[in-house]
Structure 1
Amino acid sequence: MPRLLELLRWKLQVLFAWKPTRAQLLPLILGVYALAGWGAYANKASANRDLTTQVSLLQTERDGLVSRQKESEQASIELVREWQGKLASARAELGQAIAARDAAKGQPAGSQRELIASKKRFDQARDRVSETGSIKPAEPSKKAASKP
């Protein structure tokens, strides 16, 4: 064992005692720079691979989101069309209800005119009866003559 330690000590002394010349030092420095450059290139290539993977995942997600957005837009368009149809039918029903209401409002007015005409005829008949004291034959009403 002491022999092994002595051998190791001798190798360390030789290593630290080495004084390289310019011719020996230049290839050593260029080799270190070459290793550092290749390491940086490998690191950058690995980062680029990761970014490429992330970009492809993001494109896939974007495509999915775009398709879901288009489906949502189609569903919205269908709902709008459905509601427009319902609104149009409700407007038509409202128009019919308004027409029926106007017709119903017009009927009492016509009935009221008929009632006023009947009252006039009644008043005229009463006046004739009170003048003579007897009932005279009634004049044919204009409405009855125009109905045949």
Structure 2
Amino acid sequence: MSHFVKAVVSTPGHQRIARTPFGARVVIHATAAETNGAFGMWETFTPPGQGPAPHTHTRETEVFRVVKGVYRFRCGGEEFDAPPGTVVTLPPFVEHSWKNISDEDGQMFAVVSPGGCERLFIDIEATGADTPEKVAVIEARLGIINEAT
């Protein structure tokens, strides 16, 4: 089990802002580097009709809590809608995707364990990766298989 010894604090107005492969804003709250690999944590703000392409994580379990909007999740052969208050846990090694199907911007809080894939958002922002091919290079380094590339 990973241990970390210092509080990780994300204060309003001082958060780290990044972006998803599809351009949505992400607020990073904790990284694997800060938690000794235990977890990563962020919020994603998703415009209507947007979401990631089908992809598979080879390292981490993802947990999402829908805060605002309604999201349609696909996990393996299953599809379901998630209104506010819904918590969805997605296993590693199973293809999944999600999309904001409401008419308003959506918001989800996410935690991954072990941490690490939150680097995707940070690295997209830092490098300006603006094509599926550039994003795919980052995803591959993080053990994320994107079915669209």
State TM-score, norm by structure 2: 0.15
Higher relative contact order structure (alpha carbons within 8 Å, sequence separation ≥ 6): 2
Higher strand share: 2
